[in-house]
Amino acid sequence: VPLALFIIGYTMSAILIHISNTTTNQYLSTDVKYQILSLDIYHNIGYGKGIHAFKNYVLRHSISDKIEAEQSFQEADRLVKKYLTFPSLSTEEKTAMEALEKTIELYLSKIPIAENLIKEGKSISQIDHRVKIDDNPAVKAIFDLQNYYIKQRDLKLKNLKAVQDKVSLIMLITFTISMIIAILTSRKTSRAMLKAIQKVLNISNSISNKVIDVNTNLKTNISSEMQNGNDELDELASRVTLLGENLEASFSELKRKNTELENYAFITSHDLQEPVKKISTYADIILLENKSDLAPKSVEDLKKIKNLTLRLTQLIKSLLEYAQLNESQDNLQDVDLNQIAKEAVDNLEIIIKETHADIEIHPLPTVRGNHILLRSLFQNLISNSLKFQNTNTISKVKIFSEIKDKNCKITVTDNGIGFDIKYLDKILRPFGRYHDKKKYPGSGIGLATCKKIAEIHNSSLEVLSEENKGSSFSFNLKLLS
């Protein structure tokens, strides 16, 4: 009977682990291929090639820049079309690729226009006005695609963890039943089996906790204890050891690919920041060296360029910070929320004084959390309350806590302009907006960052709001035991 149970348990575990390995291999062979192709598309469109060469052509009228722009955009267009031929594309992938394809087509259509304007002797500002293209849809498409890849990766990891838990549960049930039967059958045999089962359970628990440290000497150890002919258990231990080794290899490869994907956000933001800085520098140089020769309208345009590059730099910085938020629980420690709230208010000292805002902070507890992330959460919520305020009203922000059992609920309320709660999902997404961005400027990532930080702390961002009556933002944190 124990042998039959072991065979059944092993068979079910083997099937589940086969599913786990299939999922991992699919991720490595298919998903990563898609990600690499999207990265190639970005590099051909990005400021290092297509867009950079196009702008240089407008500024310098260099034929080599024109050729570089055409070739880069044509290659990017080819890669986008190749991506769209892949089977079973998601709506997110199709939407992102269509946005990139549209931007590429716009740039390709503007190159001959720029060429004709250059031949006609038009000024740089006139040419730029005619061929200017809004890159924001392409930037958003790249960012959305990156987020989609991360979500797919997390989903596959979650499914992989579920399979591992099932394997552990099946092993535990099988071994427990077998142990009981063995004890009833033979006291001597049960003692020997108990030692061996404990070793196998240690491996299954390691697999469940993603801490795979396979003991290569397990088979030898068990064999020395199985002097009375329990060859079946010996064979099972060997097979479990082999399964653990296979999972260990899969995890190592998956971890390496995940690291590459996390670096994607940094590469994207870095490549965007460099050309933006150069544009700002060129604008400064033109103003310093040629201000007396420029028309007032040109001076004003250059100042607008300077302001736009500052806004774009801040947006890129916000995107990078959002993309690099770490979901690991390893960095949680004891933190004093009173100190964190004070630091957040100190960082916003200038805007608080300018708006004459009233910030009321009630006593807050000490909790388990990440100091830096929680400070960012408080700072974003307070900043959001100060920004979305009626012109003739003094901002009033209140921060307080409610303790229940081993958790505390932190709430930030304001008397701002509020919003229609039915648009909450949109507002909590990156770039999601409810109010006019011209009247209320910003990156559109603040509340999305708050939501993600709350999730990192095993919580959620609860929001209550009503137009012209203010808003309330709450999240739960674990108290010290």
Is 7 in contact with 179 (CB distance < 8 Å)? no
Q: Where are the domains of the chain?
A: 1-324, 333-478
The confidence score (pLDDT) of residue 342 equals 93
Calculate the CA dihedral of residues 298, 299, 301, 307 and round it to 10 degrees.
Answer: 160
- How many Cβ atoms sit within 10 Å of the Cβ of residue 122? 15
| Per-residue pLDDT reduced to its tens digit, 46-65 | 756 888 888 888 888 889 98
Please say whether the beta carbons of 461 and 473 come within 8 A.
Answer: yes
Tokens found for residue 269: 């933001």
Residue in the block written with tokens 């329990």: 230
pLDDT at 464: 92
Sites in the chain below the pLDDT cut of 70? 1-10, 12-29, 47-48, 160, 163-164, 167-168, 170-172, 174-175, 177-179, 181-245, 247-248, 250-251, 254-274, 276-277, 311-330, 431-444, 481
pLDDT at 102: 93
Residues constituting the chain: 481
The answer to whether 159 and 152 are in contact (CB under 8 A) is no
Q: How far is CA 217 from the centre of its chain?
A: 40
**What is the reported pLDDT for 190?**
59
**pLDDT given at position 271:** 60
**What φ, ψ does residue 88 adopt, rounded to 5°?**
55, 45
CATH 3.40.30.10 fits 333-478, yes or no: no
Entry pTM: 0.45
> CA-to-CA distance for 206 and 86, rounded, in angstroms?
37
Q: Give CA angle at 157 (146, 244), nearest 5°.
A: 140
